[in-house]
């Protein structure tokens, strides 16, 4: 695959066609169940839809990456096995996996289909990455969003596989695949059920002072004054109280979007093979704008031109933007 | 078979003196079979206690305890990679691996244990690890009973030990960022070890006054203490081989005594509750994860019988 591959999200067949038409090299998606980490109502693909989407993408020279990136609890492993077999039958170009049991099954049963190591496996060192390459023949690692560019360059020199990094979208704070915060509050697990702050357990409650409390299960994730706009209650983006911060503070991170557009040339120079845009839950219009803008930007960098990315700032929906860990160790 | 009792690694940044006292008391008084030593959470904390490990291990071994040395959960920096490789390459102690980086350094057939950060959720993953020398697996804290039961049956066939955390705060998340340093306006690199000031973690309460989480450096823990005292007979029945007690800022010898009586069938859950009531603890108990419910919940015995 060529350097600077653009890997784009699709939560629906329509979004998938939109991403292909807007210039995506690859599209990642999942089935409508717990086998992927965006198991949200109204999102994802039936087998029939995925089959047609594979045909469409292939007819335009694009590839389909199937996310099977959750952790099957004992007793439910069959669902992941069936999803892998189905994906193979439908002609997907790669599986994105995190669980070693799932990786072992695919490596043995479908050895001709590429395995990508999901960010949910949290492989953040050459040693960990090399283990997955050696044991399962992984062809690409999706790196956690915690490394600086010099660190990515060092990793690239030590591993025999491709690197994919996130460049745009939601910015998770916890080590992926190691977070049970949602399960603690709600009984639904990010790793086992593919959910994070599920909408049906979210509540916006009007307070006596006309402010708003946002809740997940029985816990208040944040409280907003009458003049503030209430954000979605994701646990790692909430405000909490302790002796140091009696009025509340963003203990983990404020609501903020990752935007590495400015760093594209440096990332390509460091050896990043593919750029991932987050957002399978996003609208078609969003996918179209973001994919088209990054398509142009990647093409500009490849041609040695200065990329124009002013429009992307507007797409972060009024949220603050960050380059996160990529630019400075002080993020940690 | 009667399950073994273990003391998991100390997650908090307790002082060297405090850790030495803690392990001396465990050696002399606690009816536990295995003690896990070593820093799992933060590589910056590692040097402080590492110099004492030999002495502590000897003391515990002489008291009849099995000693296992634990590796880091997060491995990214050079010093973390080296610590990980050194752990695997030393031959003196049995080891528990908590990051895939450790697996990479194993010589074929080298025996090792798999820690709770390794995400062993199913028998297929366990079989993969057993084939590469794993002798023992601690499952993730959120794994429900129905899955543990299936894993225990499979572990028996593979000849692998299966361990479940039955006491202490649940580790809910880790991060590359230090939230302890952040709470005090610092970063990980200039943290000044502020995590040492909170022996049971830094509270995070909600803005409506509910107790919710605890920060421990790069780790986020539950406010509640997991307590599966009432579930010990069921675990023994399904073949769970080891019950893990995570050290908290409370009388851990007293806690171990209660679980020791439970595992031998000397007392039942109601008596265990009464004995826990006499031990000073900072947090309520929870057992929701085990029952496939929200982790913070405490499912009472009556509801358990119906479930």
**Tens digit of each residue's pLDDT (9 = 90 or more) over A209-247:** 899 999 999 999 999 999 998 999 999 999 999 999 999
| Domain end position, chosen among A250, A279, A302 | A250
Residue B301 binned pLDDT confidence (cut-offs 50, 70, 90): low
Residues A166 and A199 reside in one and the same domain: no
The answer to the question of residue B205 being in a domain is no
B236: its two tokens: 């023994």
Report helix, strand or coil for A257. Answer: strand
Q: Both A107 and A236 in a single domain? A: no
The model's pLDDT over A282-328, given as tens digits with 9 standing for 90+, comes to: 889 989 999 999 999 999 988 888 887 776 766 665 567 788 877 77
Range from A24-33, A277-286, B21-30, B287-296 carrying the lowest mean pLDDT = A277-286
* pLDDT score recorded for residue A319: 64
A324 and A245 in one domain?
no
Q: Is the pLDDT of residue A170 over 60?
A: yes
Which tokens belong to A324?
């996160």
- 3-class secondary-structure state, position A208: coil
Identify whether B292 is part of a domain.
Answer: yes
Task: Look at residue A314 in the predicted model and tell me its pLDDT.
Answer: 67
Residue A177 is assigned to a structural domain of this protein: no
Do A56 and A108 reside in the same domain of the chain?
yes
Q: Are A275 and A141 within one domain?
A: yes
Return the CATH number at B99: 3.20.20.70
The answer to whether residue B251 sits within a structural domain is yes
Q: What is the ipTM of this complex?
A: 0.97
A268 and A310 fall within a common domain: yes
Tell if the CB–CB gap between B85 and A184 is shorter than 8 Å.
no
B195 marked ligand binding residue: yes
Q: In the prediction, which pLDDT does A115 show?
A: 98
* Chain A residue closest in CA terms to B147: A74
**Any known ligand binding at B84?**
no
For residue A135, the domain's CATH number is: 3.20.20.70
- What pLDDT, on a 0 to 100 scale, did the predictor assign at position A313? 67
* In-domain check, residue B23: yes
Range ranked top by mean pLDDT from A26-30, A295-299, B302-306: A26-30
From chain B, pick out residues whose CB is under 8 angstroms from the CB of A221. Answer: 206
Residues A39 and A69 in one domain: yes
pLDDT at A281: 87
Please indicate, yes or no, if residue A178 is contained in any of the structural domains. Answer: no
User: What integer pLDDT is reported at residue B288 of this predicted model?
Assistant: 98
Q: Do A123 and B100 touch (CB under 8 A)?
A: yes
Same domain, A227 and A296: no
Domain range for B256 is: 4-170+222-306
Judged by average pLDDT, the poorest of A183-192, A258-267, B191-200 is A258-267
Question: What confidence category does residue B306 fall into, taking pLDDT thresholds of 50, 70 and 90?
Answer: very low
Which whole number is the average pLDDT over B183-209?
Answer: 96
pLDDT at B76 > cutoff 50: yes
Q: What own/partner pairs with CB < 8 Å and gap ≥ 24 does A212-220 have? A: A213/B207, A213/B208, A214/A238, A216/A182, A216/A185, A216/A186, A217/A185, A217/A186, A217/A187, A217/B294, A218/A185, A218/B210, A218/B296, A219/A185, A219/B206, A219/B210, A219/B212, A219/B296, A220/B206, A220/B207, A220/B208, A220/B210
Q: Are A214 and A301 part of one and the same domain?
A: no
For testing contact with chain A, the best of B41, B83, B87, B124 (most A CBs within 10 A):
B124
The reply to whether A34 falls in a domain is yes
Average pLDDT over residues B19-44: 98
In a domain, B201, yes or no: no
Half-sphere exposure for A206 (CA within 13 Å, toward CB): 2
Contacts of B91 (CB under 8 A, 6+ apart): none
Burial class (CB in 10 A: 0-12, 13-18, 19+), B296: buried
Identify the band that residue B307 occupies on the pLDDT scale cut at 50, 70 and 90: very low
Scanning every residue of chain B, which has its alpha carbon at the shortest distance from the alpha carbon of A127? B101
On whether residue B97 sits in a domain, the answer given is: yes
CA A10 to CA A65: how far, in whole Å? 10
Distance CA A326, CA B1 (A): 51
Annotated binding residue B178: yes
CA-wise closest residue to B74 among B29, B37, B115: B115
Q: Assess if residue A227 is contained within a domain.
A: yes
- Residues A290, A151 share a domain: yes
Q: Give the DSSP letter of residue B71.
A: P
* CA trace torsion A85, A287, A194, A141 (10° rounding): 70
- The boundaries of the domain holding residue A202 are 189-250
- In this predicted model, what pLDDT tens digit does every residue of B86-103 receive, in sequence order? 999 999 999 999 999 999
Chain A residues whose CB is inside 8 A of the B127 CB are 101
Average pLDDT of chain A, as a whole number: 93
Is B300 within a domain? Answer: yes
What average pLDDT does this structure show over A144-167? Answer: 95
How many domains does chain A fold into? 2
Residues A274, A306, single domain; the answer is yes
Q: What is the pLDDT of residue B195?
A: 97
Read out DSSP for A131-175? Answer: HHHHHH---EEE--TT--HHHHHHHHHH-SSEEEEEEEEE---SP
Question: Is residue B73 situated within a structural domain?
Answer: yes
Instruction: Say if the Cβ atoms of A105 and B124 lie within 8 Å.
Output: yes
DSSP characters over B72-93: PS---SHHHHHHHHHHHH--SS
A73 is a domain residue: yes
Q: Is residue A182 part of a domain?
A: no
Same domain, A212 and A271: no
The structural domain count of chain B equals 1
| Interface A:B, Cβ pairs < 8 A | 224
Which residues, other chains included, contact A330 with Cβ-Cβ below 8 Å and sequence gap of 6+?
B187, B189
């Amino acid at each position: 695959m060529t350097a600077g591959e653009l890997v784009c999200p699709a939560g629906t067949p329509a979004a998938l066609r939109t991403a292909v038409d807007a210039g995506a090299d690859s599209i990642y998606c999942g089935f409508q169940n717990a086998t992927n980490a965006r198991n949200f109502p109204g999102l994802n693909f039936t087998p029939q839809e995925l089959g047609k989407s594979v045909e469409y993408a292939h007819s335009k020279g694009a590839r389909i990456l199937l996310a099977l990136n959750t952790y099957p609890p004992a007793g439910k492993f069959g669902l992941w096995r069936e999803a892998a077999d189905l994906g193979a039958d439908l002609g997907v170009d790669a599986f994105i996996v995190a669980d070693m049991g799932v990786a072992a099954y695919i490596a043995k049963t479908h050895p001709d289909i590429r395995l990508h190591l999901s960010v949910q496996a949290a492989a953040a060192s050459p040693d960990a990455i090399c283990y997955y390459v050696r044991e399962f023949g992984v062809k690409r690692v999706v790196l956690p969003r915690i490394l600086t560019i010099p660190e990515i360059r060092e990793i690239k020199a030590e591993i025999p596989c491709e690197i994919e990094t996130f460049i745009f979208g939601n910015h998770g704070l916890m080590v992926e695949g190691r977070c049970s915060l949602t399960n603690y509050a709600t009984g639904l697990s990010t790793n086992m059920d593919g959910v994070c702050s599920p909408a049906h357990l979210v509540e916006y409650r009007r307070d006596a002072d006309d402010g708003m409390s946002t809740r997940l299960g029985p816990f208040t994730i944040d409280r907003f004054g009458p003049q503030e706009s209430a954000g979605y209650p994701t646990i790692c983006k909430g405000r909490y109280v302790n002796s140091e911060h009696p009025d509340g503070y963003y203990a983990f991170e404020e609501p903020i979007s990752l935007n590495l557009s400015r760093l594209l040339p440096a990332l390509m120079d460091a050896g990043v093979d593919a750029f991932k845009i987050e957002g399978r839950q996003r609208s078609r219009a969003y996918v179209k704008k973001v994919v088209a803008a990054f398509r142009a930007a990647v093409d500009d960098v490849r041609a040695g031109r200065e990329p124009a990315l002013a429009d992307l700032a507007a797409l972060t929906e009024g949220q603050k933007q960050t380059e996160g860990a990529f630019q400075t160790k002080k993020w940690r | 078979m009667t399950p073994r009792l273990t003391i998991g690694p100390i997650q908090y940044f307790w002082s060297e003196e405090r850790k030495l006292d803690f392990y001396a008391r465990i050696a002399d008084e606690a009816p536990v079979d295995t003690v896990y030593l070593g820093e799992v959470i933060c590589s910056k904390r590692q040097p402080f206690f590492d110099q004492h490990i030999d002495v502590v291990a000897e003391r515990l071994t002489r008291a009849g305890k099995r000693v296992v040395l634990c590796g880091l959960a997060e491995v990214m920096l050079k010093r973390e990679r080296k610590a990980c490789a050194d752990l695997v390459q030393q031959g003196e102690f049995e080891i528990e691996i908590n990051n895939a980086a450790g697996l990479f350094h194993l010589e074929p057939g080298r025996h090792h244990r798999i820690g709770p950060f390794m995400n062993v959720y199913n028998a297929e993953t366990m079989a993969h690890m057993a084939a590469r020398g794993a002798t023992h697996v601690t499952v993730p804290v959120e794994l429900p009973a129905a899955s543990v039961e299936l894993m225990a049956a499979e572990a028996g066939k593979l000849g692998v030990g299966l361990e479940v955390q039955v006491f202490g705060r649940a580790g809910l998340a880790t991060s590359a960022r230090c939230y302890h340093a952040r709470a005090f306006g610092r970063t990980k690199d200039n943290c000044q070890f502020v995590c040492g000031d909170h022996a049971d973690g830094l509270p995070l309460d909600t803005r409506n006054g509910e107790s919710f989480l605890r920060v421990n450096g790069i780790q986020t823990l539950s406010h509640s203490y997991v307590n599966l005292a009432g579930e010990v007979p069921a675990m023994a029945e399904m073949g769970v081989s080891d019950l893990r007690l995570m050290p908290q800022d409370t009388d851990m010898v007293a806690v171990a005594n209660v679980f020791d009586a439970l595992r031998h069938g000397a007392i039942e859950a109601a008596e265990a509750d009464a004995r826990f009531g006499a031990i000073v603890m900072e947090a309520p108990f929870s057992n929701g994860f085990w029952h496939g419910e929200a982790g913070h919940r405490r499912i009472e015995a009556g509801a358990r019988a119906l479930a």
